[in-house]
Amino acid sequence: MATWLNNTGNNMKIIVVGASGILGQAVVKHLQALGHDIITASRNSGMERVDIRDDASVRALFARTGTVDAIVSTAGVVSFEPLSSMSTEQFMLGLQDKFLGQVRLALIGLAFVNAGGSITLTTGITGHQPIAAGVNATAVNLGLEGFVQAAALELPNRIRINAVSPNVLTEALPDFAPYFPGFGSVAGAEAARAYERSIAGIQTGQVFKVGY
């Protein structure tokens, strides 16, 4: 292997937060097939437990895992509710969970990423193609993408940060198809390739769109 390639070989230590979800499972499977050492973390399952809404829980997670070569987040939920009936409490769900949860992982996790490593967050198609009842999802996804683009300019130690923005997953259509009329979809296995690109590539501050 060429000596100038950094962090593209096997045996990187990668933590995947949100590993129990449909997308998280696909990402874990893909990265494991590449030979990486994967630590899975979720709220209720996996090798580690973490609540991304809580600083202490995230700090405890990284205290247990130690330093890693990459942090991947496929975690977070949003509210699907028409604007006319959206309450501030419902809107805060997406802000506190998917938005601040992933930002929290990046801010706290930064101290545990090895030099030349990476952080990859997850947004989604609604950040660029709004849907009915999706105002919370659109706001959250665009907020995360703005965070990634600005944070990339300040990260130390050659650490990179990107976001992956997939279309609705094919495997999730039984639950989400009514929200995405006329949309295509993308298989989890295909979306997972974008996380490899973020981890093993050289780009930073990017939003990798998948399936749209």
Alpha-carbon torsion, ordered 74, 78, 80, 83, to 10 deg:
-140
User: Which among 61, 157, 46, 156 has a CA at the least distance from the CA of 101?
Assistant: 61
- pLDDT at res. 1: 37
CA-based max dimension of the chain: 57
pLDDT at 199: 98
State whether residue 67 is helix, strand or coil: coil
pLDDT value of position 10:
65
- Give the burial string for 161-193 (b: 16+ CB within 10 Å, else e): bbbbbbbbbbbbeeeeeeebeebebbebebbbe
| 46: DSSP letter | S
Handedness of CA 54, 110, 192, 37 (dihedral sign): negative
**pTM, entire model:** 0.95
Q: How confident is the model at residue 8 (pLDDT cuts 50, 70, 90)?
A: very low
> 49 is written with which tokens?
């437990």
Give dist(CA 28, CA 154) in Å, integer. Answer: 28
Q: Is pLDDT at 9 greater than 70 in this prediction?
A: no
Check residue 141 and give its pLDDT: 98
Question: Residue 211 is encoded by which pair of tokens?
Answer: 């399936």
Please name the helix (run of DSSP H) or strand (run of DSSP E) that holds residue 121, with its range, or none.
strand 113-122
Residue pLDDT, tens place only, 117-131: 999 999 999 999 999
The span from the CA of 91 to the CA of 4, in Å, is 46
Angle made by CA atoms 49, 93, 209, in degrees to the nearest 5: 80
What are 73-85's pLDDT values in tens digits? 999 999 999 999 9
Cβ–Cβ < 8 Å for 124, 164 = no
